[in-house]
Amino acid sequence: MKIPLSAPDITAAEIEAVIGVLRTSRLSLGPVTEQFEAAVADYVSVPHAVAVSSGTAGLHLCIRALGIGEGDEVIVPSFTFIAAANAIRYERAIPVFADIDPATLNIDPQTIEQAITPRTRAILVVHTFGLPAEMKAILEIAQRHGLLVIEDACEAIGTEYNGCRVGSMGSAGVFAFYPNKQITTGEGGVVVTRDEGLARRIRALRNQGRYESDDWFQHTELGYNYRISDINCALGLAQMGRLEEILQKRAEVASAYHRRLSAYRELCLPPIEAASGRISWFVYVVRVPGAHQERDAVMRGLAAAGIASGRYFAPIHLQPSYAAWRHTATLPVTEAVASCTLALPFFNNLELSAIDHVCDTLGRLLRSHQLL
């Protein structure tokens, strides 16, 4: 592909930080991991952060450490990456899918209320594409029904809601740092929380169930190898130092797309601002007129022109591994939106000339398929 869908932004500072760790004898569970955790905790304004091997690992550890288990129900959107629901199933709990708001593409608080049963234990909120979910309404629902709230902020570091950074408002929040995210550790994630006991348990669970008071071969409970290396954390720590610069770059790319694509009135563009706070741009997703056939035809045309694109997201309840869930919920907005979403190339250093080429090609394809 001439223009990729995403690309990490790695500078000499990140390379030197990684090399610096390689010159030491502490490649895992060392001081750089602690520094990275402290940087994330400070940024989110919470007292505790635990670095883990992936966002998926972080979500799983939240489910387990909060005592959610077999037969418990967790409300979650279907319009998100499959890891959110998989983490629930890892503990033999039951994902209950709720529909999304057609404008924000975040979980709709009204559908959360409708999905609550006596077995509901938690709401797993996703800040989709870096746009903040309606946390005030969601937290009020959770308080009224005695439910836990887990924030999946894997796409949303830097997102703000009513003056609070996402990840800080629920029982726990999870960030992810895969190479397509705003910042990267290569592979990795961080769990943040205000609950000291929860942080202590997650820290033990990531390291084979070993608490700080245990010796190396003593394991207080069943745990996992969800550790992350100091090498990864060195990369992440250097990226954290550039986070505001990176978020600004991504906002500028989103604005450039918005200016160019506003001419195509038949396209549904993402909100360029959030009334409740700040967007941390993860991807730039438009909605193509028609249904999946038209969207897929446009994707093939983009690929032929050397432009990568993606269908963000394929609903979880329609995935083969979720066949048992296919008819358990009515999700008209999720299914309608997912049939026409198209993610365009989006990364920090995407040049204006490339954005122009993407937009011109997209416009040509929309006209050729009589969608404009």
Tens digits of residue pLDDT in 73-84:
999 999 999 999
- The full set of domain ranges for the chain reads 12-240, 243-368
Catalytic residue (choose from 2, 136, 181, 249): 181
CATH topology of domain 12-240: Aspartate Aminotransferase; domain 2 (3.40.640)
Average pLDDT over every residue of 234-257: 98
Instruction: Note the pLDDT of residue 136.
Output: 98
The answer on pLDDT for 316 being more than 80 is: yes
Helices (H), 163-210: 196-205
In sequence order, the 6+-apart residues with CB closer than 8 A to the CB of 344 are 257, 284, 285, 286, 309, 358, 362
DSSP 118-134: TTEEEEEEE-GGGPPP-
Tens digits of residue pLDDT in 168-187:
999 999 999 999 999 999 99
Q: What is the pTM of this model?
A: 0.97
Tens digits of residue pLDDT in 269-300:
999 999 999 999 999 999 999 989 999 999 99
12-240 with 243-368: one CATH topology? Answer: no
Instruction: Note the pLDDT of residue 291.
Output: 87
Give catalytic status of residue 181 as yes or no.
yes
Instruction: Note the pLDDT of residue 310.
Output: 97
Task: Return the CATH superfamily for domain 243-368.
Answer: Aspartate Aminotransferase, domain 1 (3.90.1150.10)
Tens digits of residue pLDDT in 148-167:
999 999 999 999 999 999 99
